[in-house]
A and B are shown apart, each in its own frame.
Chain A
Amino acid sequence: MSETATSRLAIGARLEEVRRACDFVVEAAERAGLDERAIYHCQMAVDEALTNVIEHGYGFRDEGNTIELTCQATADRFVITIEDSSPAFNPLTHEAPDPTEPLDSREPGGWGIYFIRKLMDDVRYERIGHRNRLTLVKRIPAPALAGSPQGAESGLFPTRELDAHTAVITPAGRLDSNNSPQLERTLEAQLGSGKTWLFVDMADVEYIASSGLKVLVAAWRRARDQHGDVILSGLQPRLVEIFEMVGFDMLFHVYPDLDSALAARPVKR
């Protein structure tokens, strides 16, 4: 992660080549330790930049026209450069479309550049001789402090206390080996503070891996031991499938949404 190896790729100026460039950037970004979201951002920024060069810079003329890319990772940033020999064009001087514009008056074009600027932390343009160079920078977040579990983000998922025994927890994103520890810490913190009825609203969870399933079962066991329960709601169809596959639909009480889960909550005296 701290070395500054540069990888290079040249592609023909054709839309069909853009995907290869995207793969190249994704691989370099993975090696640099970027998370899935940052990798997606880099991929999209590069896609948009290359598409602009091919469509507008070279005007779809690909005879002998090439575009050169480099990716370089330093300790705290991932830097992509894109160079081409099309006429000078500084995308940063173009007025960005307005995302608050209503449907009827929306600009059909210009969104590529808009996304590049939104998705990357820094974008620079230079004209060097007869070449355009666009530099895209994504910051690499500092690794978690030593001693924090798993080295992943040490945050907790949002939690809402309903009463002394009950809390609603709303995890989000992918519950995989990266994020399951965060769910584990969130559930443990609640169980540790006497919350034995845990409503886990899964509406924003798009994927659950075995590590996430394990965390849910462990919390369920602990809650059960203390005469409580872990109650789930809002499973997306893909999650329902996973739950059925591993038989968790028999283990957990699962409700279509949080409101119906809470409505079914036993009355406390």
Chain B
Amino acid sequence: MVMEINVSEMRRVQLFEVIGRVDSTNATELGTAMDRAVDDGKSNLVLDLSGVEYMSSAGLREMVRILKRVKRVGGDLRIANPSERVREVLELAGLDSVFEIYPTQVEAVGSF
């Protein structure tokens, strides 16, 4: 297993728990999973990154693409618990001020 995505439907939020490694071979898989939720009219998304050990810019690109998409329909994509390394990369790209980032999944889900 390189990357695993667990999707759970909650009352007001669609939760995506990602485990493993997100790079250019599989980032679109993550984007597509989130696209599917938006296609179904769900635009409040939480991406739990606590299990992501590595993410390249390909993963960030998908996250930004989905964020733009859900914002257009009044939703949001919020991030829970990125590792210190992933957080550093988010900060380098200035994405820590573009995404709402929460320390825990519970807080990210509860923020909607």
Contacts and interface: CB of A to CB of B under 8 A. Distances in A.
B93 interface: yes
Contacts of B33: none
Interface in A23-60: 37, 40, 43-44, 47-48, 51, 55
A211 B110 CA distance: 34
Given A99-B92, A111-B93, A112-B57, A173 B84 contact: yes
Contact of A47 (B56, B84, B88, B104): B56
Given A18-B25, A51-B24, A111-B61, A43 B81 contact: no
Contacts of A203: 103
Given A236-B81, A236-B104, A111 B71 contact: no
B50 A238 contact: yes
A115 interface: yes
Contact of B71 (A19, A103, A109): A103
A2 interface: no
Contact of A37 (B2, B85, B92): B85
A172 B103 CA distance: 14
Contacts of B95: 99
Contact of A44 (B65, B68, B71, B89): B89
Interface in B69-112: 71, 81, 83-85, 88-89, 92-95, 98, 103-105
A44 B56 contact: yes
Contacts of A101: 94
A63 interface: no
Given A37-B85, A206-B83, A236-B103, A115 B92 contact: yes
B15 interface: no
B104 A99 contact: no
A51 B98 contact: no
A221 interface: no
Contact of B104 (A37, A106, A119, A237): A237
B107 to A, nearest CB: 11
A210 to B, nearest CB: 20
A108 B57 CA distance: 10
Nearest to A108: B61
A244 interface: no
A204 B50 CA distance: 13
Interface in A184-241: 203-204, 206, 236-238
Contacts of B71: 103
A47 B54 CA distance: 11
Nearest to A43: B54
A23 B92 CA distance: 23
Contacts of B21: 19
Contacts of A8: none
A206 B25 contact: no
Shortest 6 CB-CB contacts between residues of A and residues of B: A99-B94, A111-B57, A51-B24, A40-B85, A47-B56, A15-B25
Given A18-B24, A103-B71, A203-B103, 10 more contacts: A19-B25, A40-B54, A44-B54, A48-B56, A103-B67, A103-B68, A108-B64, A111-B61, A115-B57, A237-B50
Interface of A: 15-16, 18-19, 37, 40, 43-44, 47-48, 51, 55, 98-104, 106, 108-109, 111-112, 114-115, 118-119, 172-173, 203-204, 206, 236-238
13 contacts: A18-B23, A19-B25, A44-B56, A51-B23, A99-B94, A103-B98, A112-B56, A112-B57, A115-B57, A115-B92, A115-B93, A206-B83, A206-B84
